[in-house]
Amino acid sequence: MSSLATFQLLLPPFPSSSSSSSTKPTSFLCLLPLLTSPLQRRAHLNRNSQHFHGIPLEHRSKSGRKFGSFRCFSALSPELKTTIDKVVTSEKVVLFMKGSKDFPQCGFSHTVVQILKSLNVPFETINILENELLRQGLKEYSSWPTFPQLYIDGEFFGGCDITVEAYKSGELLEVLEKAMCS
């Protein structure tokens, strides 16, 4: 008997479309890594036309989205939030970026570094490429999905576009001068 056939015997049956609405679908997706290849997993998921990626069709909208509520994993643990709070308040200007101020690893980070250097502002940089948990947690912390992220006087100021606009308008210099004097 093949490993796929053995695996299929272990699977619980899917509810039929005639089952009552109170019956919850049985999910076997957590067991899929046991199959040896992506082709075997795809073959298994597509073996029954009443299912879409292993989820019974009656539990999906016409667009293919799954109905129901989800509890999303949060990358921002209380400990990480406390750490980020300490970092952003430890210096007047903190830049979370890809790379360092001496070696930026993306054009947007490089742009913000050049702006801050041109204003002769002392600033601290944190390389978010060194810690994926920090990177994901910062996105939640600031409600901002991209990097770099500039914090001035403990407050999120913005990303590259906002920083460039504020620099051109003179607003960035005003905010930085106020922060340095406080």
User: Do 97 and 118 fall into the same domain?
Assistant: yes
* Tokens standing for residue 84: 């980020």
Alpha-carbon separation of residue 28 from 2, 92, 120 (angstroms)? 19, 51, 58
Please state the pTM of the whole predicted model: 0.61
Q: 13, 47, 70: which is the final residue of a domain?
A: 70
Q: Are 136 and 127 within 8 A, CB to CB?
A: no
Q: Indicate the residue among 70, 101, 125 that finishes a domain.
A: 70
Q: Are residues 112 and 154 in the same domain?
A: yes
pLDDT in tens, 2-40: 433 333 344 444 444 444 444 444 444 444 444 444 444
Evaluate the CA torsion angle 161, 78, 132, 83 in order and state its sign: positive
Range of the domain at 34: 23-70
Q: How far, in Å, CA of 28 to CA of 10, rounded?
A: 10
Residue range 102-147, pLDDT digits in tens: 999 999 999 999 999 999 999 999 999 999 999 999 999 999 999 9
